[in-house]
Amino acid sequence: MATYIVLMGMQGAGKGTQAAALSQKLSLPHITTGGLFRAMDGQDSDLAREIQAIMARGDLVPDATTIEVVRQRLTKPDAANGAIFDGFPRTLPQAEALDHLLAELGSRVALVPLLTLDRQEAIERISARWECTLDPTHVYNLNTNPPKVAGICDIDGAPLRQRPDDTPEAAAKRIDTFFEKTAPLLDYYRARGLVHEVNAAQPIEAVSAALFHLIEVSKNA
Ligand code: AP5
Ligand code: MG
């Protein structure tokens, strides 16, 4: 059975950081809707321009667009054995759509780890985040996880940048939207016994170890 994991948590909790580690350890693709949307930056289309404007404000991209992007990503062969979803689903219609898409593949969501963190700490992390311009899944933090050379990605040597939606205003709005639109999804998954909390206030490696342990336990359950 394929392993589809939905990583949930407030903005800044470390979904992207941990999804990258899980993806490497489990050899499963890291599917991040935020990353897929950012990759459309600079494309010459009304849709791409509209998406960048929505993200810069800290609002959610409409469900239909988001679901279509994920549907297309799931048709790629590397997603047949499972995937780590980061930042998707974020609304009830997206969660229902994911269930349909996975059912078409003869599968379902296996586990929903919830990374828990204090709001103030999340905002501090977001304000100090820098990402690689070549591969935005390479994420750094000036306070907690700095690159070896300032402004340069350790992995591929590309320059780092701050995300345009990491202003304090947009970050605060994204967190408000998490509580309003995404947190209710937890009940949807709790009803199926899939949600397991992981303390995201620990160092990155400790959070990874807790996630790996959780996945092993759930495989053997
Ligand atoms: P998205 O890219 O998903 O961003 P987000 O939801 O705002 O979440 P973040 O990326 O800020 O948080 P994260 O949990 O990944 O934290 P990270 O690992 O980087 O979405 C962006 C936008 O796209 C949305 O606002 C929306 O407009 C649109 N969008 C995306 N998906 C959508 C959807 N499904 N529906 C509709 N619209 C959608 O960590 C943060 C920082 O902390 C980093 O600097 C990292 O190095 C550091 N860090 C991580 N873990 C630790 C740790 N344990 N200790 C210390 N530092 C740590
Ligand atoms: Mg992220």
Each residue's pLDDT tens digit, 61-106? 999 999 999 999 999 999 999 999 999 999 999 999 999 999 999 9
Number of C-beta neighbours around residue 139 at 10 A: 19
Residue nearest to atom 2 of ligand 1 (CA): 34
Asked whether the predicted pLDDT for residue 216 surpasses 80, the reply is yes
| Mean pLDDT value of segment 136-153 | 94
Question: What are the catalytic residues?
Answer: 15, 90, 129, 163, 174
Number of C-beta neighbours around residue 188 at 10 A: 16
pLDDT at site 219: 83
pLDDT at site 26: 95
pLDDT at site 95: 97
Asked whether the predicted pLDDT for residue 137 surpasses 90, the reply is no
The type of residue at 179 is: F
Residue nearest to atom 21 of ligand 1 (CA): 34
Calculate the average pLDDT of the chain.
94
Q: Which atom of ligand 1 is nearest to the CA of 62?
A: 36
Spell out the residues 6+ positions from residue 36 whose beta carbon is closer than 8 angstroms to its own: 69, 73
pLDDT at site 119: 94
- DSSP per-residue letters across 17-69: HHHHHHHHHHT--EEEHHHHHHTTTT-SSHHHHHHHHHHHHTPPPPHHHHHHH
Spell out the residues 6+ positions from residue 179 whose beta carbon is closer than 8 angstroms to its own: none
Q: Pocket around ligand 1: residues whose beta carbon is below 6 Å from it?
A: 9, 11-17, 33-34, 37, 54-55, 58-61, 66, 87-90, 94, 125-126, 129, 139-141, 144-145, 165, 174, 200, 202-204, 207
| Mean pLDDT value of segment 119-125 | 93
Query: 181 is written with which tokens?
Result: 């639109």
Range of the domain at 149: 3-220
pLDDT band at 194 (very low <50, low <70, confident <90, very high): very high
Residue 13 alpha carbon to ligand 2 centre in Å: 9
The Cα 126–Cα 199 span in angstroms is 17
pLDDT at site 191: 97
Total structural domains within the chain: 1
Residue 102 alpha carbon to ligand 1 centre in Å: 24
- Sign of the CA dihedral running 64, 123, 121, 129: positive
pLDDT band at 167 (very low <50, low <70, confident <90, very high): confident
How large a percentage of the chain has pLDDT more than 90?
Answer: 86
Tabulate helix, strand, coil % of the chain (nearest 5): 50, 20, 35
Spell out the residues 6+ positions from residue 193 whose beta carbon is closer than 8 angstroms to its own: none
CATH number at residue 10: 3.40.50.300
The Cα 193–Cα 153 span in angstroms is 39
Ligand nearest to the CA of 129: 1
How large a percentage of the chain has pLDDT more than 70?
Answer: 100
pLDDT band at 164 (very low <50, low <70, confident <90, very high): confident
pLDDT band at 57 (very low <50, low <70, confident <90, very high): confident
Residue nearest to atom 8 of ligand 1 (CA): 11
The Cα 5–Cα 154 span in angstroms is 27
Residue nearest to atom 4 of ligand 1 (CA): 34
pLDDT at site 168: 84
214, 221, 154, 155: which is closest to 26 by C-alpha? 214
The Cα 99–Cα 104 span in angstroms is 9
Residue 104 alpha carbon to ligand 1 centre in Å: 28
81, 92, 90, 80: which is closest to 34 by C-alpha? 90
Residue 37 alpha carbon to ligand 2 centre in Å: 12
DSSP conformational letter for 158: P
Q: What is the side-by-side order of every strand in the sheet holding 82-86?
A: 30-32, 82-86, 3-9, 109-116, 195-199
pLDDT at site 2: 85
